[in-house]
Amino acid sequence: EAGVAQSPRYKIIEKRQSVAFWCNPISGHATLYWYQQILGQGPKLLIQFQNNGVVDDSQLPKDRFSAERLKGVDSTLKIQPAKLEDSAVYLCASSLVWQGELFFGSGTQLSVL
Amino acid sequence: AQTVTQSQPEMSVQEAETVTLSCTYDTSESDYYLFWYKQPPSRQMILVIRQEAYKQQNATENRFSVNFQKAAKSFSLKISDSQLGDAAMYFCASGYSSASKIIFGSGTRLSIRP
């Protein structure tokens, strides 16, 4: 069974630039999560999808962050414009049901200079 | 608000010894789940163990076991016979039925002394 795929693995941009991350969850997993993990902290939920609908985006900075999940499969997370404090690892995870195990990708490490 | 607290930023244990990582949570929910995840330097989070709140029996997975104290809202992880490969960040997490989302604590960095 293929795992959760994320790309790119690393990204370096300057502040005010835009960036996009891609995630392909495990086939059949209805729930998809984007987490932001700042160095030394635990993952913080940014947005949660159930199929292609948003379940929770209460902690997503909507003035600069956007996310979509087309056809209930792949997902993209975009930041525009980026700020220095957006430097973090962005983790994508999926699960069959929300109470079950989360399967994580390897994350994208973003550095904003 | 639902919270998960890990009060030990770092822990160290001698190889083959036993170590316990602490976690407390706060919720008014009756239907929830608790998890321990491991994050090695590769960054990929891996589920260590999972506990349903309605189950009184503590979950066990090989060398990993939990001490679930529901009244005290405590969920500690015990690692027996520690191995070098156990060195990683460990995150406690909780999921709540009403919110259907999973939130994480701040993590404990575990190092193993050979």
CB-CB: which of B47, B100, B103 is closest to A101? B47
* Residue A1 binned pLDDT confidence (cut-offs 50, 70, 90): low
Rounded mean pLDDT, B96-112: 87
On the question of pLDDT at A54 being above 80, the answer is yes
Rounded mean pLDDT, A72-97: 94
Chain-centroid distance of CA B111 in Å reads 15
Contact residues, chain B, for A33 at CB < 8 Å = 101-102
Substitution target in B49, B98, B102, B103 with the highest count of A β-carbons within 10 Å is: B102
On the question of pLDDT at A37 being above 90, the answer is yes
On the question of pLDDT at A100 being above 80, the answer is no
All residues at 6 or more sequence positions from A54 whose CB lies less than 8 Å from its CB, including other chains: A47, A48
Rounded mean pLDDT, A23-49: 94
> In terms of C-beta density within 10 A (0-12 exposed, 13-18 middle, 19 or more buried), how is residue A87 classed?
middle
On the question of pLDDT at B102 being above 90, the answer is no
A86: β partners: none
Instruction: Tell which residue, A63, A61, A60, has the closest CA to residue A49.
Output: A60
Rounded mean pLDDT, A57-86: 94
Per-residue model confidence as pLDDT tens digits over B60-87: 999 999 999 999 999 999 999 999 999 9
On the question of pLDDT at B29 being above 90, the answer is no
The tokens for A23 are 């995630």
Instruction: Tell which residue, A94, A86, A75, A69, has the closest CA to residue A19.
Output: A86
Task: State residue A11's pLDDT score.
Answer: 97
Task: State residue A38's pLDDT score.
Answer: 95
